[in-house]
Structure 1
């Protein structure tokens, strides 16, 4: 993944200073330019569809909980043949945030308290400063994690043979058949 621009192509900054009790619904649907930027950022051939449905809600006293899902249709290059491979992403999003100034937020970074981590449980809360959180960038993080790092076209396999030699032999055989020689 490239990180030339720190701002996400699907950035959506939510004001969490005064959230409604039921939460703030956020829907992010991309245009052509945003999908092209996502494809470049994540080294994909293309992003045909991208949509994030989120709910930004109050959590505990001063925290924020972001839930929802990100869905996308993408095309990647097969790692064996470089042919296009289509994939559908449907990833659930759940994240907790605490203000940096909160007691729990300070304990995690200053060692003032003990944090118990459960490998199967939810992630520990992240901290934020000010009264905004970029929920679009959060959705993009979940999108990026859901992309198959080794996409393969159905039936494509890496053979144990010397690939350079076998490719050269195959090329020579095709050339001979085109020239009418056996």
Structure 2
């Protein structure tokens, strides 16, 4: 219930909530499990081959009169294309999600600095300003996107060696790029000259 007595649903996948409408005298729990159509939309948004068993659950805990601490757990099973073979790679994601929504947030990117290179990046990336409205689906989607492997790779996948060269020249190999490859090449030329 909000302060004015209307019911606030935290358990609807796409619903937006206003944190200022939550009673700051107690914790507010939620559990989000998207239906098949919502899973499909999220899978397409993230460019995944498959997505199932997604569950986002946690609580909003009052941190002060106006601030809220979000503590939640995201679980999902995602399939991505292997970077080497394009075969499906399945990954189980289980991550803890934490945010502090605060009214006293000072964004260093908005601060005016004489030199833009002097703008500091905050050390704690879990602190955010209190939004006008918050959609838990967006928090879950962001957490999932950050938890996915950047370069999924099948267990038996190997990158093949590709060689490019001008016609009439020998292709450069991985061996040639090693620090002492040029010395080896020089030694080989000297030995041929004897």
TM-score, normalisation: structure 1: 0.69
Aligned to 1:126: 128
Structure 1 stretches (4+) deviating beyond 3 angstroms?
106-111, 115-118
Gaps of 5+ in 1: 1-9, 164-182
CA drift of 1:129 comes to: 4.0
Aligned to 1:179: none
Cα distance in structure 2, aligned partners of 1:67 and 1:12: 18
Cα distance in structure 2, aligned partners of 1:77 and 1:107: 37
- Higher strand residue share: 1
1:68-98 deviation digits (Å, cap 9, x = unpaired) = 1110011111111111111101111000112
Q: 1:29 aligns with which of 18, 27, 33?
A: 33
Cα distance in structure 2, aligned partners of 1:58 and 1:49: 29
TM-score, normalisation: structure 2: 0.65
Please say which structure displays the higher CA radius of gyration: 2
User: How many residue pairs are counted as aligned between the two chains?
Assistant: 144
Gaps of 5+ in 2: 1-12, 113-119, 165-194
Q: 2:51 aligns with which of 25, 31, 47?
A: 47
* Partners of 1:21 and 1:57 within 8 A in 2: no
CA RMSD of aligned residues (A): 2.6
Cα distance in structure 1, aligned partners of 2:140 and 2:24: 21
Cα distance in structure 2, aligned partners of 1:25 and 1:141: 20
* Partners of 1:30 and 1:49 within 8 A in 2: no
CA drift of 1:116 comes to: 9.1
Aligned to 2:105: 105
2:76 aligned with 1:83, yes or no? no
